[in-house]
Amino acid sequence: MRFVLRRIGFFLLTLWVALTLNFLLPRMMPGNPALAVIGKFKAGVPPQALKALDAEFGLNAHQSLLSQYGSYLSDVATGKWGVSLTTEPGNSVARMVLDALPWTLGLVGITTVMAFILGTFIGIIGAWRRGGRLDSILPPIFVIMTVIPYFWLGLLLILFFGIKLHWLPYIESYNFTLTPALDWTFISNVLEHAVLPGVTLLVTTIGTWILTMRNTMITTLAEDYVRMARAKGLPGWRIMMDYAARNAILPNLTGFAMSLGFVVGGAILIEEVFNYQGLGYMLLQAVNNEDYPLMQALFLLITVAVLVAILFSDIATAILDPRTRGAR
Amino acid sequence: MATLQEPGAGTTSGTATGADAATALPIPGEWGVVPRISGARAMRRMARAVTSNGKAAAGAILLLIFILVGLFPGVIAHDDPNAEIYKPNLGVSTAHLLGTTAFGQDMFAQVIYGTRPVLEIAFGAGLGCTIIAMLIGVAAAYLGGVWDSVLNLLTDVLLVIPAFPLLIVIGSYLGGATTGVMIAVITCISWSYTARQLRSQALSLRNREFLEAARVRGERPIYIIVVEIIPTMTSLLVASFLTNALYAVLFSSSLQFIGLGDPSVTSWGTMLYWAENQEALQTGQALWIIVPGLCIVALGAAFALLNYAFDEIGNPALRPVRSMRGKRVKPAN
């Protein structure tokens, strides 16, 4: 229990750091870039919105930094995330972000879970059949796989499966001539559009799971209790899954949370390459349009999502591994 | 993008569990119990490893080629990479080995001249990260107490905040990053993982006899850290440099690809940016995308192969085996 409380404390601390970074960054930069952009668009922004921007970026020179910080924090907490400057001028950032969220959650979430399960399983088999064909081919291949930039692989897939072979669509998350509805035409269209970005993400992330799982599993297989299980004459799959893999999976599980930050980063680029209208695509649009309120909100949301996932995996580790519970 | 997650990425768990897990589980890149080896000897051992391990040799040769190309681009490519003097979108020919871009630049010259900025960032950020991580990690372990808690907390916080989105935000406020700025920003954001590794390594050394002896001799802390502790970490430092250099390549190329690099510098990332910008795939200029990407992969692979080979050298359990199955059934004599 104490462990969980400590993790929650750590979560709150990192959340606060992220919020503060978000607040301080535009103010630390030479000449407050946000100020310059807002100045450009002042005419187009309704006065109501301008007031919110004041607090967010420190346009009010007469306000002290501390009181700006206070109103910024309360605005974030109450969901007043300001309005978009350029991407969809005048629209509420909160609403835009929430519209994009399900697409990213669907694409990145499902792909990550699939990569985790598949990669862990391949890692188990690879370590179990140490020295076998699978084990000798996989590690070098996946060392190379992990250095391929996500976005470049996406571009290659577009080139071969989209442009050369015309097998799959590669732009946007569904055919915009369709009206979103819960019928087969629409759902199959969405799935079809998710194949290429999903595969890109899967292929580039799976190597980590395989390597981590394989390497820990190899050490676990040398443990005495595995030898004991063998001596007892237990069936192979039981030793593999219940004795070795079960103990070897922990680093992979903590790695799961760690990697989410990377996966999210990669997903940003994949969404950009495929024009997939999730959070990452929107973030880069905001960057291109110098739409700072939108950019800030997206950065916060992405960070919070990663932090929450890490918190969950910490709690899962505490439930699965008694050793962590004992630690202080 | 940073697709390579450091193998066995430590734990996200707090101070106590992090250190526990690091010592309980052999994490590749973490040298477990290290006999006291002086820096020079470790270096010699690594040099021998490079020549005897196939993966390390391949990585070293690749890296050497890139370094030579980066140092003397003019010897290989004769065109100015930025001069828009040719017909746009030319195909592959002997005059233009990779054809020309949509702006009429020689693509081969661009690829060759694009090597140096990438290497500058890789080596700059790789060294920067390693040095900061070394200072913070060793200081935390050696000083202990409040210092350890504070430095460790700082490391942990930075570790979980997603690095790439943060890079994008900073890059956006800066309005694009030159090579120097890129090195600085990547260094500031990505030293934390290494610092944690080095800290647990230093912690495991804290009560060893040779440090005790130095203390009894009355050496100053700074002497102990620099002369006694740091040389024992040479192999870990090299591994950390390789990993961070690889990250820097991927991070910087990704930033350049989305247009947050220095547009006046020709590098692989900016080439990809312009190619995407000109819809190179749709207009049949696929080489404009394929070649710079391949270069990124090759350079990244050079760092990764070297790192992987050092892992195998440091952790014999991971070395490839012929077959263990035969051994298992054979009764022990």
**Token pair of A235, please?**
């069936």
A323 chain-B contacts, CB cut-off 8 A: 17, 20, 24
d(CA B26, CA B7): 11
Q: Is A222 helix (H, G, I), strand (E, B) or coil?
A: coil
**Token pair of B90, please?**
């030319």
Taking residues A185-203, what's their average pLDDT? Answer: 83
Note the pTM of the prediction, 2 decimals. Answer: 0.81
Instruction: Provide the 8-state DSSP code for A169.
Output: -
**Do A149 and B253 count as a contact with CB atoms less than 8 A apart?**
yes
Supply the pLDDT for residue A278.
Answer: 86
Is A251:B11 a contact under the CB 8 Å cutoff? yes
- Give burial (CB, 10 Å; 0-12/13-18/19+) of B331: exposed
pLDDT tens for each residue of A144-159: 777 888 889 989 988 8
Most confident stretch, A145-159, B33-47, B73-87, B117-131: B117-131
d(CA A212, CA A149): 20
- Give burial (CB, 10 Å; 0-12/13-18/19+) of A71: middle
Calculate Rg over the CA atoms of chain B: 23
Give just the sign of the alpha carbon dihedral B178, A15, A280, A256: positive
Identify the band that residue B116 occupies on the pLDDT scale cut at 50, 70 and 90: very high
Supply the pLDDT for residue B118.
Answer: 93
- B106, β-bridge pairs: B100
Instruction: Provide the 8-state DSSP code for A89.
Output: T
Q: Is B54 helix (H, G, I), strand (E, B) or coil?
A: helix
Please determine, for residue B133, whether its predicted confidence score (pLDDT) is greater than 60. Answer: yes
Q: Which residue has the tokens 């040099």?
A: B47
pLDDT tens for each residue of A33-72: 666 666 666 555 666 666 666 666 655 556 677 877 887 8
pLDDT tens for each residue of A284-301: 988 888 888 888 888 888
Which amino acid, residue B146? V
- B100, β-bridge pairs: B106
A255 chain-B contacts, CB cut-off 8 A: 5, 8-9
pLDDT tens for each residue of B156-188: 888 888 888 899 988 888 877 888 888 999 999
| B3, B27, B254 member nearest A147 (Cβ) | B3
| Mean per-residue pLDDT over chain A, rounded | 80
Supply the pLDDT for residue B160.
Answer: 84
Instruction: Provide the 8-state DSSP code for B72.
Output: -
**Token pair of B229, please?**
């502790």
Percent with pLDDT over 90 in chain B: 18
CA distances from B220 to A96, B135, B225, B325 (A): 59, 16, 9, 53
Q: Is A130 helix (H, G, I), strand (E, B) or coil?
A: coil
Mutation target vs A (from B6, B12, B281; most A CBs, 10 A cutoff) = B12
Is A298:A279 a contact under the CB 8 Å cutoff? yes
The CATH H-level (homologous superfamily) assignment of domain A97-318 is: MetI-like (1.10.3720.10)
| B20, B170, B300 member nearest A323 (Cβ) | B20
User: Which of A17-26, A37-46, B91-100, B112-121 comes out lowest in average pLDDT?
Assistant: A37-46
d(CA A58, CA A75): 13
Taking residues B26-45, what's their average pLDDT? Answer: 52
| A21, A136, A150 member nearest B320 (Cβ) | A136
CA distances from B189 to A190, A233, B82, B186 (A): 36, 51, 31, 5
d(CA B148, CA B139): 8
Is B184:B177 a contact under the CB 8 Å cutoff? no
Is B177:B261 a contact under the CB 8 Å cutoff? yes
Supply the pLDDT for residue A258.
Answer: 67
Is A295:A287 a contact under the CB 8 Å cutoff? yes
Number of H helices, E strands in chain B: 16, 0
Please determine, for residue B130, whether its predicted confidence score (pLDDT) is greater than 90. Answer: yes
Please determine, for residue B94, whether its predicted confidence score (pLDDT) is greater than 60. Answer: yes
Is B77:B330 a contact under the CB 8 Å cutoff? no
Give just the sign of the alpha carbon dihedral A166, A167, A170, A176: positive
pLDDT tens for each residue of A233-276: 888 888 888 888 888 887 777 777 667 777 777 788 888 888 88
A303 chain-B contacts, CB cut-off 8 A: 161-162, 165
* Maximal CA-CA distance, chain B: 77
Query: CB neighbours (10 Å) of residue A132?
Result: 15
Identify the band that residue B125 occupies on the pLDDT scale cut at 50, 70 and 90: very high
A210 chain-B contacts, CB cut-off 8 A: none
A253 CB-near residues (< 8 Å, 6+ apart)? A313, A316, A317, A320
Q: Is B117 on the interface with A (CB under 8 A)?
A: no
d(CA B89, CA B98): 10
Is B194:B129 a contact under the CB 8 Å cutoff? yes
What's the residue count for chain B?
Answer: 333
User: Which of A152-156, A162-166, B1-5 comes out lowest in average pLDDT?
Assistant: B1-5
User: Which of A95-109, B83-97, B318-332 comes out lowest in average pLDDT?
Assistant: B318-332
Residue B257 is assigned to a structural domain of this protein: yes
Which amino acid, residue A241? M
Percent with pLDDT over 70 in chain B: 80
B254 chain-A contacts, CB cut-off 8 A: 149-151, 265, 269
pLDDT tens for each residue of B249-290: 999 999 999 888 887 888 999 888 988 888 777 777 888 888
**Do B25 and A262 count as a contact with CB atoms less than 8 A apart?**
no
Is A140:A131 a contact under the CB 8 Å cutoff? no
Number of domains observed in the structure of chain B: 1
Closest CA to B266 of B69, B112, B65: B112
Residue B320 is assigned to a structural domain of this protein: no
Helix (H) or strand (E) holding B221: helix B221-223
Please determine, for residue B300, whether its predicted confidence score (pLDDT) is greater than 80. Answer: yes
From the CA of B269, how many Å to the nearest CA of chain A?
A: 10
Supply the pLDDT for residue B119.
Answer: 94
Query: CB neighbours (10 Å) of residue B263?
Result: 12
| B172, B297, B301 member nearest A287 (Cβ) | B172
d(CA B125, CA B121): 6
- Chain A contacts in chain B segment 170-209 (CB below 8 A): 170-175
Residue B331 is assigned to a structural domain of this protein: no
A85 chain-B contacts, CB cut-off 8 A: none
**Token pair of A162, please?**
């989209």
Domain containing B251: what range?
Answer: 19-315
Give just the sign of the alpha carbon dihedral A267, A150, B182, B151: positive
Is B69:B315 a contact under the CB 8 Å cutoff? no
Region of residue B30 (phi > 0: left; psi between -120 and 50: alpha; otherwise: beta): beta
**Token pair of A327, please?**
């630690």
Query: CB neighbours (10 Å) of residue B105?
Result: 23
B72 CB-near residues (< 8 Å, 6+ apart)? none
A315 chain-B contacts, CB cut-off 8 A: none
**Do A131 and B11 count as a contact with CB atoms less than 8 A apart?**
no
Taking residues B121-134, what's their average pLDDT? Answer: 94
A123 CB-near residues (< 8 Å, 6+ apart)? A209, A210, A211, A212, A213, A214, A217, A252
Taking residues A292-312, what's their average pLDDT? Answer: 86
**Token pair of B303, please?**
């760092």
Please determine, for residue B316, whether its predicted confidence score (pLDDT) is greater than 70. Answer: no
Exposure b/e, A107-120, CB count within 10 A at least 16 = b? bbbebbeebbeebb
d(CA B309, CA B311): 5
| B24, B304, B324 member nearest A131 (Cβ) | B324
CATH number of the domain encompassing residue B32: 1.10.3720.10
| Domains of chain A, residue spans | 2-77, 97-318
B75 CB-near residues (< 8 Å, 6+ apart)? none
Q: Give A30 or A205, the one with higher predicted confidence.
A: A205
Supply the pLDDT for residue A33.
Answer: 61
φ, ψ at B4 (rounded to 5°): -85, 110
Alpha-helical segments (H) within B33-82: 39-52, 54-71, 73-76
Alpha-helical segments (H) within chain A: 2-28, 33-41, 47-57, 65-77, 93-104, 110-128, 133-145, 150-157, 184-221, 224-231, 236-238, 246-273, 279-288, 292-320, 322-326
